[in-house]
Amino acid sequence: MARINFIELPASDLGSARTFYSAVFGWGLTDYGPSYSCTTTGTVDLGLQGDMSEAPSAPLPVVLVDDIDAALIAVTGAGGTISKPVFGFPGGRRFHFLDPNGLELAIMQTD
């Protein structure tokens, strides 16, 4: 079953973004290196990307799937354009794509 499980936001000042979301919503964030931090609730989580060369230009919905390879075939078969090929990250793999309207989304599979 596929579902949105993550929203990633650009954060040019990661420290202030962490402080803001913690203060406003009481969210605990976990650091994954010097430029990435996220909540880890297991429902719909928020990721903050501080490396602006890797950051999305807008909020990035991330869809969790059971089979990333089948999802890649489905995306390209339906006319999606791959904007970032499959890559690994701590805990899984993901890729980014543009839908027919040019909106960027990502698909991930956990390890």
The model's pLDDT over 20-33, given as tens digits with 9 standing for 90+, comes to 899 878 899 999 99
Q: What pLDDT was estimated at residue 42?
A: 81
75 in Cβ contact with 30 (< 8 Å):
no
Q: What pLDDT was estimated at residue 24?
A: 78
8 in Cβ contact with 56 (< 8 Å):
yes
- Residue burial 93-109, b: 16+ Cβ < 10 Å; e: rest: ebbbbeeeeeebbbbbb
What predicted TM-score, i.e. pTM, was given to this entire model?
A: 0.84
Q: How many domains does the chain have?
A: 1
Domain limits at 80?
Answer: 3-110
Residue 33 sits in a domain of what CATH number? Answer: 3.10.180.10
Q: What pLDDT was estimated at residue 67?
A: 95
Q: What pLDDT was estimated at residue 84?
A: 96
Q: What pLDDT was estimated at residue 105?
A: 92
Low-confidence ranges of the chain (pLDDT < 70): none
Q: Tally the C-alpha atoms within 13 A of residue 46's C-alpha that lie toward its C-beta.
A: 17
